[in-house]
Amino acid sequence: MFAYQTIRSQREQIGEQQEFIAEQTRFMDEQRQNLEMERVELHAAAEDRRWAQARRVRMNHVKAGGSTDDEDETTPHDHWRVAVINESDAPIHQVEVRFNTVYLAAEVYEWNAHRLDLTSSPGERTMAPLSLLGAGRALLFVSQQWPPASVHNNRPVLHFTDVNGLRWSLDTKADLQEVSGNDAW
């Protein structure tokens, strides 16, 4: 009889231990799931922060008609006028607009960030490519001139580096992409 009670007591202890282990396993599984959800949320928040400044940089563009040559005659060639507006709270660096990925802007001017008409007279001319564009500031990039049939092949793409050192490109379709070191300034 003593042996029977010992075996029964041991079985009860084993059952209790199995229940405890099952509870602990469920608890650890819940903790793992919670940690995984927190990790996903933290990753999403970090990704949002990484893209935050770049998303606040705008590029407005217009294909403009010919200009006046040295003899006050209008040329048939077309060109691009591109306003780059930094609406973020921090400066952007290494700012340039490339046309057909290889041509840099022929001229760069200070620009009023609130000006909507890209064909109006620009502000003071500045150097290109620009090493710094402050928060709330804007620039006007003017391309070289191309024959009307080929100007569409030379669409503008903005390249800049954010305050965290990440390099970005923004095209005329508002496609913002982080670019690799190969496209760095």
Containing structural domain, residue 68: 57-183
Q: What's the total number of domains in the chain?
A: 2
Do 43 and 68 lie in one domain? The reply is no
Do 18 and 77 lie in one domain? The reply is no
In angstroms, the CA 11 to CA 9 distance is 5
> What tokens does 23 get?
């509870």
Pairing assessment for the beta strands 79-86 and 57-64 based on DSSP bridges: antiparallel
Do 29 and 70 lie in one domain? The reply is no
In angstroms, the CA 49 to CA 54 distance is 10
Do 136 and 177 lie in one domain? The reply is yes
Backbone angles phi, psi at 27, to 5 degrees: -60, -45
In angstroms, the CA 51 to CA 56 distance is 9
Do 78 and 123 lie in one domain? The reply is yes
The pLDDT tens digits of the residues spanning 64-101 come to: 776 555 565 556 678 899 999 999 999 999 999 999 87
In angstroms, the CA 102 to CA 124 distance is 25
Q: Which residues have a Cβ under 8 Å from the Cβ of 70 and sit 6 or more positions away?
A: none
Do 48 and 85 lie in one domain? The reply is no
The pLDDT tens digits of the residues spanning 113-166 come to: 777 777 777 778 887 778 899 999 999 999 998 888 888 889 999 999 999 999
Do 106 and 30 lie in one domain? The reply is no
Write the CATH number for 170.
2.60.40
> What tokens does 91 get?
């400066």
Do 82 and 39 lie in one domain? The reply is no
- In the chain, pLDDT over 90 holds for what percent of residues? 48
Do 79 and 40 lie in one domain? The reply is no
pTM over 0.75, yes/no: no
Do 48 and 61 lie in one domain? The reply is no
Which band of pLDDT confidence, cut at 50, 70 and 90, is reported for residue 171? very high
Do 77 and 4 lie in one domain? The reply is no
Do 150 and 89 lie in one domain? The reply is yes
